[in-house]
Chain A
């Protein structure tokens, strides 16, 4: 509440979420989302957790058109 950066007269009237309340969500879901992005963007390209070419070939067009380096 004691955030001086929030103007009392503002039309938004939004109280910021405390960093403490946000941290567990940010860590868990942040990592989960980054893992998803890794599988779309880089798995079986520069590095591979799963052997073979299946993941790379399946997301091949998406990887190119989303702008990731593909091969």
Chain B
């Protein structure tokens, strides 16, 4: 009865991603920038290959306009992809309404796109990481993201197949256990990198990594809430007159 418009969901996903990006930007700026600055100060105290007057982009611009560009574009793009995923998931993953579907997708995205790869290849502040291995580290990071997303999709499909036989609860446990086991194998067999310099403060590294986690957690939880609200208004028949009005207001 409710035919869903892909376009309407995509627009809402990108809008929710933009709002989520704005909140994540605030967290990145107020929580993370001081650690980035501290790490750069350490880097410049040790070597001078970065310093001098030939900076392409000033630190001030990197920490404001540059940071905003990165986080907001990430938010819009991630929101768009999550909206496309929810176009497919709505009405297919079980008896979940638009808000529950949005929350599940946002939670799954945080877990598979960030937390699982992060536990193997955690984020590094400036001054940490050997420039010679950047190609390998980048490839393995994206491999870990892809592996985690594909295994999670497989776990959902297998969980749904098992549900009629085992019941929802046990099928979910079996699917999650399979996911954890395979991710554990990937952790064990993929190469690791230990490139933290001897003199780099452990406290600063820990705080920086927590900040990156806070940025992603803020982004995805905001996305889940905002996108859930927008799609609920769009799709739920119980909300009178919401459909056409939001469509014209947002689209």
Contacts and interface: CB of A to CB of B under 8 A. Distances in A.
**Same complex origin of A and B:** yes
B124 A70 contact: yes
A66 B216 contact: yes
B92 A60 contact: no
B62 A67 contact: no
Interface stretch (B2-10, B148-156, B170-178, B197-205): B2-10
B62 A30 contact: no
Contact of A6 (B65, B71, B91, B138): B91
A14 B118 CA distance: 35
Contact of A65 (B32, B114, B134, B137): B32
A70 B129 contact: yes
A59 to B, nearest CB: 4
B242 interface: no
Nearest to B114: A67
Contacts of A3: 91-92
Contacts of A15: 1-4, 91
B6 A21 contact: yes
Interface string B60-104: 011101111111011011101100100110111011111000000
Interface string A15-51: 1110101100110011011101101111001110000
B68 to A, nearest CB: 8
Interface in B99-129: 114, 118, 121-126, 129
Interface of A: 3, 5-7, 10-17, 19, 21-22, 25-26, 29-30, 32-34, 36-37, 39-42, 45-47, 53-54, 57-71
Given A12-B97, A46-B137, A58-B61, 19 more contacts: A6-B91, A6-B92, A14-B90, A14-B97, A25-B10, A30-B84, A33-B77, A40-B70, A46-B134, A57-B56, A58-B66, A62-B74, A65-B36, A65-B123, A66-B70, A66-B74, A67-B122, A71-B129, A71-B134
